[in-house]
């Protein structure tokens, strides 16, 4: 996936954002605020549904970032035990 917006570096790993993730986050916020939350917990103010929807979309983006960072940090270690041991010997793999 190509990045459209560079967000800098985390632990030396370049982090970028593709515009399609913002569309996905907006759809999550919208579907929660206008459909799922009002039917699951009726009687609340519209702003409360939107706040919860937007916070949920941010949590989704943060968890996606954590997932992808974990790939970047641990992928060399998860190939196979033999590869992991070899990588550990060369310090390419974190313990």
User: Cα separation of 35 and 45, whole Å?
Assistant: 13
Residues 20, 57, 38: CA angle, nearest 5 degrees: 120
- The verdict on whether 3 is a catalytic residue reads no
Active-site hit among 68, 70, 74, 92: 68
Write out the catalytic residue numbers. Answer: 68
């Amino acid at each position: 996936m190509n990045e459209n917006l560079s967000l800098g570096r985390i632990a030396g790993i370049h982090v970028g954002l593709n515009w399609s993730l913002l569309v996905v986050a907006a759809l999550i916020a919208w579907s929660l605020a206008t459909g799922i939350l009002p039917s699951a917990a009726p009687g609340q103010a519209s702003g409360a549904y939107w706040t919860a929807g937007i916070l949920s979309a941010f949590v989704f983006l943060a968890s996606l970032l954590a997932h992808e960072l974990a790939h970047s940090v641990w992928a060399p270690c998860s190939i196979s035990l033999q590869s992991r041991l070899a990588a550990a010997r060369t310090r390419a793999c974190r313990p």
